[in-house]
Amino acid sequence: MISFNSENTFNIDNEEHLSEWLEQVILSEDKKLGEINFVFCNDDYLHKMNVEFLNHDTLTDIISFDYTVGKIIQGDVFISTERVADNALDFKVTFEEELHRVMVHGILHYCGYKDKTEADATIMRSKENHYLQLLANIQ
């Protein structure tokens, strides 16, 4: 089950459609959906989490806590809608496109993909693009 929650005023559109898409991503990666909670928040909220839990004193767009067991994908994904909006401007894409990229990015981490090295980041970006195209095709 995928749930969407907000610690700010943001409300996501098309919850059911996005849930179906993200579940398809998980199934395509030969995994099973457990419980995934997306929590939308502001920069201050996510910054405090970044400092408290990861000891990183920086702004970020996403923090994910992975509770995956075997092939059952589970976790909490915290997304700063302020960072997403700023990044969308920087990358010259819509807010929704950047939000979807960040959402699938979190799911791909749960599926085992990393992005700390340049080679891993290239694979991650390729997967993101592939699944964003899947979303565009099923809309």
Write down the H helix ranges in the chain: 15-28, 43-54, 81-91, 95-110, 118-138
109 labeled part of a ligand binding site: yes
115 labeled part of a ligand binding site: yes
Which residue shows structure tokens 């565009």? Answer: 136
90 labeled part of a ligand binding site: no
What is the DSSP track for 36-61?
A: EEEEEE-HHHHHHHHHHHH---S--S
- What phi-psi label fits residue 136: left (phi over 0), alpha (psi between -120 and 50 degrees) or beta? alpha
Q: Which residues contact 41 (CB under 8 A, 6 or more apart)?
A: 6, 7, 8, 78, 79, 80, 81
Tell me the binding residues for Zn(2+).
Answer: 105, 109, 115
Tell me the binding residues.
Answer: 105, 109, 115
